[in-house]
Amino acid sequence: MTKTLDATHDAALQSWVASANRADADFPIQNLPYGRFRRAGSQEPWRIGVAIGDQILDLKAAAGQGTWPADVAALLAPLAEGDLNALMAQGSAARRTLRAALSQALREGSPQQSALAGALVPQAAAEMAVPCRIGDYTDFYTGIHHATTVGKLFRPDNPLLPNYKWVPIGYHGRVSSIGVSGQRFKRPLGQTAGSPETQGVPKFGPCARLDYELEMGVFVGTGNAQGEPMTMAQADDDWFGMVLLNDWSARDVQAWEYQPLGPFLSKSFASTLSPWVVTQEALAPFRQPFTRPEGDPQPLPHLDSAANRERGALGITIEVWLQTPSMAAPERLSSGNTSDAYWTVAQMLAHHSSNGCNLQPGDLLGTGTLSGPTPAQAGSLLELTMGGKQPITLANGETRTFLQDGDTVILRAFAEAPGARRVGFGDCAGTVLGQSAG
């Protein structure tokens, strides 16, 4: 298990990169997330960098300019070529080794400062890409409050199906349309249910009920061989890190198509990730006990462990912000916490592999929409507006039931705990374009 705190988590650590020392910095030296970037406007090859304050440590430049032990130099080599999957594949020991070396190099008083100062690139001058090669994408449904609220809209007498509390529900998503923060996509077309006006004949056209979904994304580390399920201990040790994930949803298309096989074209047109992968080591101080409400069934043995009960959950504050074309700045719509998830990351991996399915480095698992128990914690407009029946009014007087063309949705997240340094994820932003956009 990789949950032990070490010197890299020391809340008193300061960096020679001054912007990393601000109290509200998303990327202090205790974070050190990985992203794939190049200088904006350049044609230089993509490479992996580490966010530190408002800067990026270019690991291609750092590999050549710094002084590194042989084992660390070997870990940096594929990252310099833009291959984060190579680090993911090497497991938790490699993650910890590189994290310790980077922490030493970036901390205040490091002898590496003069050599590495030239390897910094301002984040404002960088262009970001999807952080790794994603082979497969599975979206889960771990937000029980979202599942219950949405279930009431479609099945008032039976909102939560009986399997929900026994098995992590998921479906296979589409990798080709996953983009990074800043993604702009056209409003999807789709087939929707007929009406009395159409004599019950379905119609095809632009989605009228476009929605966002506030999720976290989990990247698989080493993975498992086909036919060899992960134990809970292996699953908890394996996952590499997390990003924010907006799994955009065409609710009217979804309502028509989802029975009997689940979502399809209502989900596959776009998904947006935040660009920085916050490793599970950086999130170790924010682990929490995993508990079930009294009276709910406990997980079956292959989805249960003492370690998962003790520290399987994560406490991360998650927020949704909306900026319409007429707004000068975004407005926060809701705020929740990942601790409300009904299943943990380890349980998702263990369940996914339980039938012998082989997970691979860089595979992406979405948590599903993470809503809390109150309306102010809703992770989608479907919940905030009760299925479009109760429009929300924004501070500038505009109203919304679902997203309009030109709207930008921004997801944000950060983790805080006593005795720990706050760490953040950066923005996950996406903009809806009209069908006529070039």
Which sequence positions are flagged as catalytic?
Answer: 146
Contact 317, 414 (CB under 8 A): yes
Residue 335 labelled as part of a binding site: no
The type of residue at 399 is T
Rounded CA gap, 326 and 397, in Å?
11
Residue 267 labelled as part of a binding site: yes
Q: Residues of 10-40 as b/e, b for ≥16 C-beta within 10 angstroms? A: beebebbbeebbeeebbbbbbbbbbbbbbee
Residue 258 labelled as part of a binding site: yes
Residue 271 labelled as part of a binding site: yes
Looking up tokens 């249910």, which residue turns up? 193
CA angle 136, 140, 143 (to 5 degrees): 155
Torsion angle, CA of 220/221/227/230, rounded to 10 degrees?
A: -90
Residue 291 labelled as part of a binding site: no
Residue 177 tokens, joined: 């349309």
Which is it for the CA torsion 12, 25, 313, 290, positive or negative? positive
Residue 254 labelled as part of a binding site: yes
The type of residue at 148 is T
Q: How far apart are the first and last CA of the chain?
A: 50
Residue 215 labelled as part of a binding site: yes
Which whole-number Å values give the CA distances from 54 to 60, 124, 430, in the listed order?
18, 8, 21
Residue ranges for the known binding site for Ca(2+) are 139, 213, 215, 247
Residue ranges for the known binding site for substrate are 141, 155, 254, 258, 369
Residue ranges for the known binding site are 139, 141, 155, 213, 215, 247, 254, 258, 267, 271, 369
Residue ranges for the known binding site for Mg(2+) are 247, 267, 271
